Amino acid sequence: MNYLLLAATVKEINPFLTFYKKNIPTVPIDILITGIGLTSTAYHLTKQLQLKNYDLVIQAGVAGCFDKKIPLGKVMSINQEAIADLSVVELKKLKTTFDLKLIPQNQFPYKKGWLINENKQIFQKLNIPSVRGISVNEITTDLKKKNFYIDKFNPVVESMEGAALHFVCLMEKIPFIQLRSISNYIGERDKKKWNMSTSIENLNKELTQLLQ
């Protein structure tokens, strides 16, 4: 089995890298740091997939959460993704490119406008919740925009890279999984109210368990 582990930044997976070097160096895992954002992730992931065949691609990172009932540090897998800001607001309503008929909502790799990971086998191996996510180019801080996204997508988490993973791997027909740990709630910009350390710690524990 050949695995590819990617993250936007080294910081998000650094504890796992330390563990991996000491404990499971014989497991064939390639590491890809894509940089932040959809464009950078799509480019670097596509380039890497041209170099080698992988049995599983794993994306790991922190994320913001729309649901304040979910505790900071909680790790979840993402079963479907949408690019939320590939859209426009008309008549006080958010409309996606699918609503505007610019892209057919079932044009591959989309299903009803979503990028869906249908690999039920990998979700069954994970003892964590599987939830809906959205990806954005601009971190959501505006309450009005936050409510637009909730009304349109009903998401649990927001990231800046997830949809790129889903799109590329679906196009290339490669099994994948996206893991996200909640570091903050959407709209909260006071970093003192974030919990980055616990979210990274829990994320890396889940990564270690998965790959062992």
134-192 tens-digit pLDDT: 999 999 999 999 999 999 999 999 999 999 999 999 999 999 999 999 999 999 888 88
> How far does CA 189 lie from the centroid of its chain?
20
Count of domains in the chain? 1
Average pLDDT over residues 44-66: 97
CA distance 44 to 54: 15
Total H helices, total E strands in the chain: 6, 10
Question: pLDDT at residue 46 above 80?
Answer: yes
Stated pTM of the model: 0.95
Q: How confident is the model at residue 24 (pLDDT cuts 50, 70, 90)?
A: confident
- Report whether 13 contacts 202 (CB < 8 A): no
Chain centroid, CA 207 distance in Å: 14
Domain encompassing residue 112: 3-211
State the CATH number of the domain containing residue 32: 3.40.50.1580
